[in-house]
Amino acid sequence: MTSKRFVLLSLTLTALVVFMGVGFNIYMNEFGLYGEVKAGERRVWTYNRATKYLLSLNYIPKNFDAILIGSSSSATMHDTQQIKSARTYNLSMNGANICEVAPAAINALEKGKMRFLIICLNPYLTKNSMMKTSELSPQLLKSTYGSLFSIRFYAYKLLYTVFPDIDLYRDSWWGYMSTKRESTKITKRDIDTFVGSTPRLTTPFPIDPSAINCLENILKTARRKGTTILAYYHPESKKIFDMKKNMYLGYQKEIQKLFTSEDTLLDLNSSKYYYLTEDISLFHDTVHLTRKGGNAVLKVLDEVMQDNRRER
């Protein structure tokens, strides 16, 4: 075989492999990018931020009429199938700030007909604006045709299919993340120890102006699309909240400026909701909720959404 024929054959085989890889990924349509894909047929296997961004391009807008956004506070143990007022996708992203959530949230709002935008507010969400996942842009779409991203995705899918017990998204097709322990992890003693060993700070939580801009862009998009905005301050254990009360109140004072009288803003740390914040069984750790806690919060949200629908 001559060198010319060898090069030609190599190029032909390479092109064939690439063509087959692209065709396979389009056929599998793991992120619901093409055609009609029903709710419950696509899920997160890994890379929760990148996957949810891709799902927001077509799958979420076509199948859901409400989204819940936030960081891990609402991404964990908030099974939005419990909400009956609207088909609500949990678009919250584990470890993300609001600027990382914004591209996917705006996609869903722009491309779909969202009746509700639900926002879980906590200081971590607006603490910074650094994009820890640089691929959250239209460029990520190219990776789905065949790339290291695709290979890793299928590797994790195979791993979690074989070992479902380690799959944090194993029982969720609506976006939320489970935890390995269903029972209460934290105890009253843990909270007392945490409170006793943590200095009482009074300065407000840091707020990144760029993060505020990202949140404002989401709110502006929702209002322009006629989407009802329901925001809430994530519930904290009452003892921990009381220890940092001035910090939280300073944070809330700044955040509430972003909302109008047309929006609903709930403070789940107020006395009305002490039945949540004083119940230790609702907390998995000092920040996150158990499944019982997540369901309790979703019940409150669902009731508010039902009232909103009746008023309209």
Q: What is the DSSP string of 235-285?
A: P--HHHHHHTHHHHHHHHHHHGGG--TTSEEEETTSGGGHHHHT-GGGBSS
Counting the structural domains of the chain, the total is 1
Query: 161 lies in a domain?
Result: yes
Task: Please tell me the number of Cα atoms within 13 Å of 146 on its side-chain side.
Answer: 12
23 domain-assigned: no
**Lowest pLDDT segment from 48-62, 141-155, 239-253:** 141-155
In a domain, 253, yes or no: yes
Provide mean pLDDT across the span 70-74: 93
Does the pLDDT value for residue 272 go beyond 80?
yes
Q: Is 217 exposed, middle or buried (0-12, 13-18, 19+ CB in 10 A)?
A: middle
Q: CATH number, domain at 129?
A: 3.40.50.1110
Per-residue pLDDT, 70: 95
Angle at 173 between CA 127 and CA 217, to 5 degrees: 35
H or E element at residue 121? strand 116-121
Specify if 3 maps to a domain: no
Structure tokens at 205: 């939580």
CA pair distance 121, 166, nearest whole angstrom: 29
Establish if 167 belongs to a structural domain: yes
Q: What's the pLDDT tens digit per position in 182-237?
A: 555 677 777 777 777 777 767 778 899 999 999 999 999 999 999 999 999 999 99
Q: Is the pLDDT of residue 24 over 70?
A: no
The better pLDDT of the pair 28, 77 is held by 77
Q: Is the pLDDT of residue 4 over 80?
A: no
- Determine phi and psi for 32, rounding to 5 degrees: 60, 35
Mean pLDDT over each residue of the chain, to the nearest integer: 84
In a domain, 148, yes or no: yes
What sign results for the dihedral spanned by CA atoms 207, 88, 25, 95? positive
Structural domain that includes position 294: 31-311
Three-state secondary structure call for residue 11: helix
Domain-located, residue 122: yes
Give pTM, 2 decimals. 0.88
* 48: its two tokens: 């929760």
**Domain for residue 9, yes or no?**
no
